[in-house]
């Protein structure tokens, strides 16, 4: 019985190696392998894309300017418009189109893409109420939102806001 189990495992491993090495032998295998590779890349995205925060400052009640460093070691091109912030409750916050008014053009990540192997420094604005807690970066993909690194510290440009 043990020999049968060992033989089946060896046979399954051999067939798997042959299919991976020569996928055109089996119709549709190439597409399945490509799809598996894409899903693997998406699952490992939090390990391959690093977003660090130099500082994050609220400019008013709902505008957060984040001075950040992005390192893309994945196989995907990341568009800055796909970067999101997510709070502890799961609420998603979008990049602010007012980035161009609060961040100079040379520092802005607005409408930029981060290619595989590329490292960028820049600032990005998000529309976020200043009462939220536990913000973390995320990337919007075709399979959904993938959470990345948290923002450790957020400050305010001015003291208390007048009512």
Tell me how crowded residue 123 is: count the other CB atoms within 10 A of its CB: 21
> CA-CA distance, 162 to 57, in Å (whole number)?
17
Contacts 24+ apart (CB under 8 A), 142-145: 143/39, 143/42, 145/84, 145/86, 145/92
What is the reported pLDDT for 17? 79
Q: Which helix (H) or strand (E) holds 123?
A: strand 119-127
Q: What is the pLDDT along the chain (163 residues), one digit of tens a residue?
A: 888 899 999 988 887 777 777 777 778 878 887 888 888 888 888 889 999 899 999 887 888 999 999 999 998 898 888 999 999 999 999 988 776 677 888 888 888 899 999 999 999 899 998 888 899 999 998 888 988 899 988 887 765 544 4
> CA-CA distance, 2 to 5, in Å (whole number)?
5
């Amino acid at each position: 019985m043990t020999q049968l189990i060992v033989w089946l495992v060896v046979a399954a491993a051999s067939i798997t190696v042959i299919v991976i090495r020569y996928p055109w032998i089996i119709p549709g295998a190439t597409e399945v392998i490509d799809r598996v590779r894409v899903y693997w890349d998406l699952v490992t995205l939090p390990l391959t894309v690093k977003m660090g925060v130099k500082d994050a400052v609220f400019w008013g009640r709902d505008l957060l300017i984040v001075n950040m460093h992005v390192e893309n070691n994945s196989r995907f091109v990341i568009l800055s418009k796909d970067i999101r912030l997510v709070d502890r409750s799961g609420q998603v916050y979008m990049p602010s189109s007012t980035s161009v008014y609060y961040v100079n053009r040379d520092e802005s990540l607005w409408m930029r893409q981060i290619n595989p192997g590329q490292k960028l420094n820049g600032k990005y604005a998000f529309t976020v109420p200043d009462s939220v807690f536990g913000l973390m970066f995320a990337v919007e993909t075709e399979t959904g939102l993938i959470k990345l690194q948290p923002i450790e510290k957020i400050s305010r440009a001015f003291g208390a806001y007048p009512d």
